[in-house]
C-alpha cells in the first residue's frame, strides 16, 4: 500500500516537472506570413514594433470580443490586418531585392533596412509629400 502511494507520488512529480520544463512553442492559429513556430517573445516584439511604427494600439488591426471581454487575435475581420499582411510582404520584397546581405555573410541573409517605421513614422497614414509652403520655391 505504502509502496503504491510512493509510486503514485513519484509519477505525479515526474509529470509536473516534465510539463514545467517543456517549452512548447505557443500555438498561434492564423499565421500566414510569420513562421508558425515563432516564439512568444519574437511575436510580441514584432507586434509592438507594428503598433509603435503606426502610432496605434492592438485594436487597430485586431478584434476585441466585447461580450467575452477577450481578444481574438487570430480573427481576420479587420481590413487593417489584411493591409498589414500586404505591407509585410512589401517590406520583405524591398529588403530582399534591394538590401541583400554582403556576399559570404552567413549569419544575415537580408538586412532590415526598410521597416514599417521607415515610411509610417508613427502615423497610420504615411505622409507621401512634403508640406508645400508658398515661399518654399523661392531661392534665397
Ligand atoms: C498594423 C496591424 C497590427 C497591429 C497594430 C498589431 N497586430 Fe498583431 N497581427 C497582425 C497581423 C497582420 C498578424 C498575422 C501575421 C501573419 O499572418 O503571419 C498578427 C498576428 C497576431 C497574433 C497571432 C494570432 C494567431 O493566433 O494567429 C497575436 C497574438 C497578435 N498579433 C498580437 C498583437 C498584439 C498583442 C498587438 C498589440 C501590442 C498587436 N498584435 C498589434 C497585425 C497587427
Ligand atoms: C515603403 C513604405 C511603407 C512601408 C515600408 C510600410 N508601409 Fe504601410 N502604408 C504605406 C502607405 C503609402 C500607406 C497608405 C496607402 C494608401 O494611401 O491607401 C500605408 C498604409 C498602411 C495601413 C493602412 C492604414 C489605414 O489607416 O488604413 C496599414 C495597416 C499599414 N500600412 C501597415 C504597415 C505595416 C504593419 C508595415 C510594416 C510591416 C508597413 N505598413 C510598412 C507605406 C508603407
Q: In whole angstroms, what separates CA 26 from the centre of its chain?
A: 14
Does residue 16 form part of some domain?
A: no
Does residue 85 form part of some domain?
A: yes
- Indicate the number of domains in the chain: 1
More confident residue, 26 or 57: 57
Res 100: pLDDT: 85
Give pTM, 2 decimals: 0.85
CA of 88, closest atom in ligand 1: 12
Q: What is the pLDDT of residues 43-88, one digit of tens each?
A: 999 999 999 999 999 999 999 999 999 999 999 999 999 999 999 9
Angle of CA points 64, 66, 71, to nearest 5°: 30
Return the best residue to mutate from 33, 47, 60 for the ligand 1 pocket (most ligand atoms within 8 A of CB). 47
Cβ contacts of 31 within 8 Å, gap of 6 or more: 38
pLDDT of 33 higher than 90:
yes
Q: Which domain holds residue 47?
A: 27-120
Does residue 95 form part of some domain?
A: yes
pLDDT of 32 higher than 70:
yes
Does residue 129 form part of some domain?
A: no
Does residue 74 form part of some domain?
A: yes
Amino acid at each position: 500500500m505504502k509502496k503504491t502511494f510512493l509510486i503514485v507520488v513519484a509519477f505525479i512529480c515526474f509529470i509536473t516537472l516534465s510539463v514545467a520544463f517543456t517549452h512548447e512553442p505557443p500555438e498561434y492559429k492564423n499565421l500566414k506570413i510569420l513562421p508558425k513556430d515563432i516564439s512568444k517573445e519574437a511575436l510580441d516584439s514584432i507586434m509592438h514594433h507594428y503598433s509603435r511604427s503606426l502610432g496605434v494600439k492592438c485594436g487597430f488591426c485586431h478584434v476585441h470580443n466585447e461580450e467575452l471581454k477577450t481578444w481574438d487575435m487570430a480573427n481576420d475581420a479587420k481590413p487593417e490586418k489584411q493591409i498589414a499582411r500586404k505591407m509585410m510582404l512589401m517590406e520583405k520584397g524591398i529588403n530582399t531585392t534591394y538590401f541583400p546581405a554582403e556576399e559570404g555573410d552567413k549569419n544575415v541573409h537580408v538586412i532590415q533596412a526598410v521597416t514599417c517605421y521607415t515610411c509610417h513614422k508613427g502615423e497610420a497614414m504615411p505622409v507621401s509629400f512634403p508640406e508645400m509652403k508658398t515661399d518654399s520655391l523661392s531661392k534665397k
